[in-house]
Structure 1
Amino acid sequence: MVLVEKLEQLKSIFAEMECALIAYSGGVDSTLVAKVAYDVLGDRAVAVTAESASLLPEELEDARIQAAAIGISHRIVQTQEMENPNYTSNPVNRCYFCKSELHDTLKPLARQMGYPYVVDGVNADDLRDYRPGIQAAKERGARSPLAEVGITKAEVRELSQKLGLPWWDKPAQPCLSSRFPYGEEITLPKLQRVGRAEVYLQKLGWKTLRVRSVGDTAKIELPVEQIQNFVASTDLPALVSKFQELGFVYVTLDLEGFQSGKLNQVLTPAKIPVTS
């Protein structure tokens, strides 16, 4: 199916819904969903962003700016996943408890507003990875129009560009809790530490990156083709000093390079719990 046909199918889904609440993170996926929903539904679409410790303040500000540019009504709610030990203990299905908290917050809000649907930005590629949060959303009746139509991540970016969204090439920015290996406890200071480290690197001009936190060690991931330039052009002593100021003891560079979802490499079927 050509992309223009997928876009028309996406529009048809929203037309049939008549109104929709968008679980809106400000990432490229949910922003495309918000854009199409607003184009079809106008003021019968609302974007709602969950503010929590795992979301960078810069990402929340981006979400505000992008929603305003689209024109869609934007609301912010608070979620409390950090109060759930099932989340902070960082099991392999941590995302299940995060999305449970999110949708347990959004679903009553949607009902209160008279909106029958909560819609998220899950795309077709997400269905091929281990994403326990998708199960939590489905259990609560959320819909994923991008996945329903079969729109991939690359197609999300292509459609966003065609629709004139200036952030079509925005790097993926999953929640900060994804920076920690499974089993390592997640705390507010750890989230803040890794978040500020990534912002520091972004301000140096490195856009696609992760800072993985393993105990007291920061592991910097960059696209493998950028590693040589990074080492040659970066004031490494200043970088190490900054990271140590943030609370890390050791700073390393992952020579394997950036890979989204890298921490899922350790998972085997025996390690993946069945969540009911």
Structure 2
Amino acid sequence: MGMGRVVVAFSGGVDSSFLLKMAKDILQDGNVLAVTAVSETYTSSELKQAKRFAKKLGARHKIIFTDELKNKNFTKNPINRCYYCKKELFCKLNEIARKQGFNYVLDASNTDDAKDYRPGSIAKKELGIRSPLMEAGFSKYDIRRYSTKLKLETAMLPSMACLASRFPYGEKINKKTLVKIEAAEDFIKRQGITQVRVRYHGNVARIEVEKEDIKRFVNKKFCDKITKHLKQLEFKYITLDLEGYRTGSLNEVLR
């Protein structure tokens, strides 16, 4: 890598876990610090995954806290919402790097990220954050393939995204609804659906799952179980998106 000492923005997902593994192998232990941000927009399961992976890898790992919900520019949920989230995160990581003598802050963006609307990338450029996987031409497929070769437990993890990505642009983000969305997704995952998004449309829950899992919702007992639980979470209407799960589906209104 030739980067000296680095701070890795580490969520515990497929991409950042692979990046952390590569950084640690190439730059060695004392030159790499993994930092995981905790906030109300991220699920508790993601933090557990990050802690478990970092411990198993033997990586230095620091937990920090961010508070996007105090930023009205974020909670108003404009189309560049991610810019404000990433700016807060990267500013904090840059401060850690400066105080502890690290040369760069790295994030795990890959070439697929350039194909979607990613306003957070503007904050990344403004603050001098490096993306070595993107710079090396790695796609999501490449990262999963090499993670499998390295026998990383994260190789086939479902894609993760912050809970704020479940809100249509312009729909105000608040803690109560974030908790409701996380609870809805956790329940569906416990029924054996590994990749799921519950998109929030006021009193409507729009469920996205992989296309091969859509057929499970034909089963009345299964469907009734999901419906009953989500209505207990105060959703009035429970719908299934027949297009299935896809990254950035709420960006479709921008095209």
Name the TM-score, length of structure 1 as normaliser: 0.89
Q: 1:125 is matched by which residue type in structure 2?
A: D
2:242 counterpart of 1:255? yes
| Residue 240 of structure 1: how far off its partner (Å) | 1.6
Percent identity, please.
Answer: 43
Q: Does 1:208 align with 2:199?
A: no
- In the other structure, the counterpart of 1:33 is 19
Q: Select the residue among 213, 219, 239 that pairs with 1:232.
A: 219
- Alignment partner of 1:187 out of 159, 166, 174: 174
- The equivalent residue for 1:77 is 64
Matches within 5 A, 1:1-276: 13=1, 16-41=2-27, 42-232=29-219, 234-268=221-255
Question: Cα offset for 1:141?
Answer: 0.8
Q: Does the CA contact (< 8 Å) of 2:193 and 2:213 recur in 1? A: no
Q: Quote the Cα distance in structure 2 between the aligned partners of 1:233 and 1:207.
A: 20
Distance 2:91 2:68 in 1: 11
Q: Cα distance 1:71–1:234, how it changes in 2: closer, same or farther (>3 A)? A: farther
C-alpha spacing 1:182/1:144, structure 2 compared with 1 (3 Å)? same
Give the stretch that moved more between structures: 251-260 or 178-187.
251-260
Asked if structure 1 preserves the Cα contact closer than 8 Å seen for 2:17 and 2:154, the reply is: no
**Following the alignment from structure 1 to structure 2, what is the Cα–Cα distance between the partners of residues 189 and 218?**
15
Q: Deviations over 1:187-226 (max 9, x none)?
A: 0011111111111111111011111010011111112232
1:21 is paired with a residue of what secondary structure?
Answer: strand
Query: Secondary structure at the residue paired with 1:59?
Result: helix
In the other structure, the counterpart of 1:10 is none
User: Which segment drifts farther, 225-234 or 157-166?
Assistant: 225-234
Take 1:143 and 1:209, find their aligned partners in 2: how far apart are those partners?
30
Match of 1:235, SS state, is: helix
Whole-Å separation in 1 of the counterparts to 2:114 and 2:166 = 21
Query: C-alpha root-mean-square deviation of aligned residues, in Å?
Result: 1.1
AA in 2 matched with 1:120:
D
Which amino acid is 1:38 matched to? K
Q: How many residues align?
A: 254
